[in-house]
């Protein structure tokens, strides 16, 4: 009893506590009702908003099927009907992932989704697009079939011309496979999590030239925006 009393009597962690600082920062920047909102502005009703979540859903299927393929090894899907099916699931999930991601990108472009302090969210999104292309590229070269050979033999010239080929050897299956199943997927996943956190932190952007803007319609600064954007 006396020991518990002494614990209870401990003073609250001071402001120098790293743990407390991080916890407070999370509470401030991304409270749970922002991370998992149960209410949204009424104008969040278009199907365009769906492209983001279906992109994430496709990524989940890409990862799940990719984990199964990597667990069984790169030869499995060539020799097994089940393996071929899982590879097909991976292949089509990737196609859907890119279709939805491009639609999401175009949707956000025409919504000018970078306004009111969301430029970094847009930029991270473009980086996700670029890293995803690189991830898919290494996947196509890890196929161990004629397509993989053809892409590698042709892609080497662009990689070498850019100087990248000296370090990123597309003819080296081991290097491409390692990058494809480990480093690049981790990179995409981390970037996507960061992107989602940024979206949830800020919330969805208001319609262009939303009512209450203190700026005149069409003012360029409305399209860059600072934090909060001065919106009401």
Partner 1 sequence: MKSMGATQEEYYRGVRMVPYDLVKELFIALAGVGLLALLAALILSSPDVAPVTVAAWAQGDPVDFVTTATNELAGTTVSAGYGNPYNTAGAGQSWGPIAPQKWFGTRIPVDSANSFVIQPLQRASVGNPDLVAALDTWQKAAADQQTKWLDAYTKALADAKVADGKVTVATGDYGPLPVMMSNLLGVAQAGGLDGLLVINGRFYQTDYTQPLLFIGDGTYFSGLAGDAHLSSSLWGMMNETGSYPGQTWLWLYTLWYQVPPFNSTTGFLGFNASNADLGIIILMTLLTAALALVPFIPGLRDIPRWVPIHRLIWRQYYGPSKSRART
Footprint on residues 124-163 left by partner 1 (CB under 8 A): 126-127, 130, 133, 136-137, 140, 143-155, 157-158, 160-163
Distance CA 223, CA 213 (A): 12
Within positions 201 to 230, which residues make up the interface with partner 1, using CB under 8 A? 201-203, 206-212, 218, 220, 223-224, 227-229
The site string for partner 1 over 73-112 (x = CB under 8 A, - otherwise) reads: ----xx-----xx-xxxxxxx-xx-x-x-x----x-xxxx
To partner 1, the closest distance from the beta carbon of 2 in angstroms equals 40
Stated as kind and residue range, the H or E segment containing 124 is helix 119-141
Distance CA 98, CA 129 (A): 8
**What's 30's DSSP letter?**
S
Number of residues that bind partner 1 (CB under 8 A): 110
Residue 15 lies near partner 1 (rule: CB under 8 A):
no
How many angstroms from the chain centroid is the CA of residue 11?
A: 41
**Closer by beta carbon to partner 1, 4 or else 158:** 158
**Closer by beta carbon to partner 1, 6 or else 23:** 23
Distance CA 49, CA 179 (A): 32
> Which residue, chain included where needed, has tokens 């020799």?
79
Residue 29 lies near partner 1 (rule: CB under 8 A):
yes
Query: Residue 210: helix, strand or coil by DSSP?
Result: coil
Within positions 180 to 199, which residues make up the interface with partner 1, using CB under 8 A? none
To partner 1, the closest distance from the beta carbon of 7 in angstroms equals 31
Q: Which pair of tokens denotes residue 29? A: 């920047």
**Closer by beta carbon to partner 1, 157 or else 183:** 157
Based on its alpha-carbon atoms, the radius of gyration of the chain, rounded to whole angstroms, reads 23
């Amino acid at each position: 009893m006396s020991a518990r009393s002494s614990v209870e009597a401990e003073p609250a962690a001071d402001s120098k506590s790293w743990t407390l600082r991080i916890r407070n920062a999370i509470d401030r920047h991304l409270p749970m009702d922002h991370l998992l909102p149960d209410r949204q502005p009424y104008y969040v009703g278009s199907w365009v908003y769906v492209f983001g979540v279906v992109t994430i859903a496709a990524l989940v299927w890409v990862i799940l099927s990719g984990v199964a393929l990597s667990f069984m090894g790169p030869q499995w899907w060539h020799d097994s009907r089940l393996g071929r099916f899982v590879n097909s699931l991976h292949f089509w999930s990737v196609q859907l992932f890119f279709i939805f991601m491009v639609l999401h990108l175009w949707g956000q472009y025409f919504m000018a989704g970078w306004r009111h302090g969301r430029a970094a969210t847009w930029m991270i999104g473009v980086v996700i697009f670029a890293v995803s292309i690189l991830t898919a590229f290494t996947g196509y070269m890890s196929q161990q079939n004629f397509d993989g050979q053809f892409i590698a033999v042709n892609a080497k010239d662009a990689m070498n011309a850019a100087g990248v080929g000296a370090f990123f050897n597309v003819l080296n299956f081991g290097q491409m496979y390692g990058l494809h199943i480990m480093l690049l997927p981790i990179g995409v996943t981390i970037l996507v999590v960061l992107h989602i956190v940024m979206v949830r932190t800020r919330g969805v952007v208001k319609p262009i030239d939303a009512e209450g803007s203190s700026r005149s319609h069409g003012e360029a600064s409305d399209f860059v925006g600072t934090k909060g954007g001065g919106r009401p």
